[in-house]
Amino acid sequence: MVTSFTAWFSQSLRRFGDVRPRQLADEEKRSGAISSSPIEEMNALGSYADLRIGPMALESSGNFATITHQTIFQEKHRTVVERNFDGAVTTTEVYQARLGELVTRLELSGSTLQGIERRFSDPYVSYDPHHDICFSDAVMLVKQTDLSTVQADRVDPAAAGLLPYEFQARLSKPDHFDLFPYHGWDLSALLERLSAYDTLRVIAERPENLDLMVVWDFMDVVHGGYFSREEFTVGSIGGSHLLVTEGTSDTEIIRHAFSVLRPDVADFFRYVDMEKNYPFGGHGNLLNFMKGLNSIGMAVGVLAIFDNDTAGLGSLRELAKIPDIKAVKLPDMAEFEAFPTIGPGGEQRADINGRAAAIECYLELPENCRIRWNNFDAKVGEYHGTIDQTSAEKSAQRDAFLKTAAGDPYPFEKIMKVLDVIVEACVAG
């Protein structure tokens, strides 16, 4: 994380500096139309881009070393905001979103509380500041601190901290503090050893902070000629998690479900190329594929998704014996605990969780739908069952789902639970 002084200083320049395109300002100066002001002379040192939440600056960088924040934002977050510089109102393009919208994206990027605690407790010894405040106390302090009271542009020798004095005394004031004392220095010092994304995730632990705006302000480096606007794309480029299922239909259904129901995180997931012949048909092939990946150290970032049936449950138990492999089955559902079935014992209602719940069971089911029990799986001591329907009926059920849109009157509740399980597994990994 760039020093909080640097972040504060660059943000202060933005409040009072010239925001016109640098090329235009330079032409005006050469023509004698305007003269250089002290602030403009400071801006001549370079261009800045910064990330902030509410009034608090998190990270600042500039020129050709600009840090980008594509991963946590999406194109829908692009907007134009006004700036008031000493009475002169200008506009600039930024990406901004409520912190509450970004929490899952932060976690899928690796900023989970478990990972943050590990990094907080083991900082880079060469340059990270040291203090004896443990992670649980740091989170407690963040929960008790009202960020809305931060006065980001306040320079005052008596600049007050936000934390209780007993904790302020255990923190080191940042470099340049005597020259530029700023409000809220202690909260910045407390979280200084964390990255900007880790800091945002910790700040999200206070519910009132979820409505604060996270802003990525980058156009200064574009106007400065260091980057083109087209280089500031957003989204999880390439996806961070590879999802592998038992078959083509499963993958098509999950991919469509994310695009319709969870567009806020859909870009974090990628899938095996279906057009080049899906190589993992059935639980056995998927099981062996995951074992193979693990044997060559390539299982990181891959999640295997098995059906909620006897075969899938058996594969999941086998993979659970191998460390560093991520695998889940489709979730148990209360609706499946007394599901119509037919088999050797005739027609009866039975619990199909862990026995016969393929992904089609999580879609809209036809009337009089039932499970037909067939072969016995000796490994798990259960009969294996499938939905009692023809291939054409199964295809029609899938195709009907693949045509849905978010606002359609379709029972999405069960497939949404599938997405919840996938996101939770990827975050936990």
pLDDT tens-place string over residues 267-280: 999 998 655 566 66
CA 139 – CA 143 distance, rounded (Å):
6
Question: Which pLDDT score is estimated for 150?
Answer: 75
Q: How many CB atoms lie within 10 A of CB 200?
A: 24
Name which residue leads in pLDDT, 156 or 94: 94
DSSP secondary-structure letter at 192? T
In three-state secondary structure terms, 85 is strand
Please write the tens of the pLDDT for every residue from 87-117: 888 899 999 999 999 999 999 999 999 999 9
- pLDDT confidence bin for 21, thresholds 50/70/90: very low
Contact 333, 357 (CB under 8 A): yes
Task: Evaluate if residue 119 carries a pLDDT over 70.
Answer: yes
Contact 108, 236 (CB under 8 A): yes
- Sequence-distant (6+) residues with CB within 8 A of 110 are 197
Instruction: Calculate what percentage of the chain has a pLDDT beyond 90.
Output: 49
What integer is the mean pLDDT of 194-200? 94
Question: Which pLDDT score is estimated for 68?
Answer: 86
- pLDDT confidence bin for 5, thresholds 50/70/90: very low
What is the phi/psi pair of residue 231, to 5°? -80, -10
Task: Evaluate if residue 214 carries a pLDDT over 90.
Answer: yes
**Statement: the pTM of the whole predicted model exceeds 0.75:** yes
What integer is the mean pLDDT of 201-225? 93
Task: Evaluate if residue 129 carries a pLDDT over 80.
Answer: no
Task: Evaluate if residue 429 carries a pLDDT over 80.
Answer: no
Question: Which pLDDT score is estimated for 276?
Answer: 57
Instruction: Calculate what percentage of the chain has a pLDDT beyond 70.
Output: 79
- pLDDT confidence bin for 30, thresholds 50/70/90: very low
- pLDDT confidence bin for 32, thresholds 50/70/90: very low
Rg (CA), the chain: 27
CA 244 – CA 420 distance, rounded (Å):
16
Structure tokens given for 283:
């639980």
Instruction: Please state whether beta strands 371-377 and 356-357 pair in parallel, antiparallel, or not at all (unpaired).
Output: unpaired
What integer is the mean pLDDT of 147-156? 67
CA 306 – CA 426 distance, rounded (Å):
15
Question: Which pLDDT score is estimated for 158?
Answer: 57
Question: Which pLDDT score is estimated for 179?
Answer: 53
**Listed residue (163, 209, 203, 156) closest to 183, CA to CA:** 156
Question: Which pLDDT score is estimated for 325?
Answer: 92
What is the phi/psi pair of residue 303, to 5°? -120, 120
Name which residue leads in pLDDT, 153 or 316: 316
Name which residue leads in pLDDT, 316 or 132: 316
Task: Evaluate if residue 392 carries a pLDDT over 90.
Answer: yes
CA 381 – CA 365 distance, rounded (Å):
27
Question: Which pLDDT score is estimated for 208?
Answer: 94
What integer is the mean pLDDT of 64-80? 91
Task: Evaluate if residue 53 carries a pLDDT over 90.
Answer: yes
CA 277 – CA 282 distance, rounded (Å):
14
**Listed residue (136, 131, 129, 163) closest to 147, CA to CA:** 163
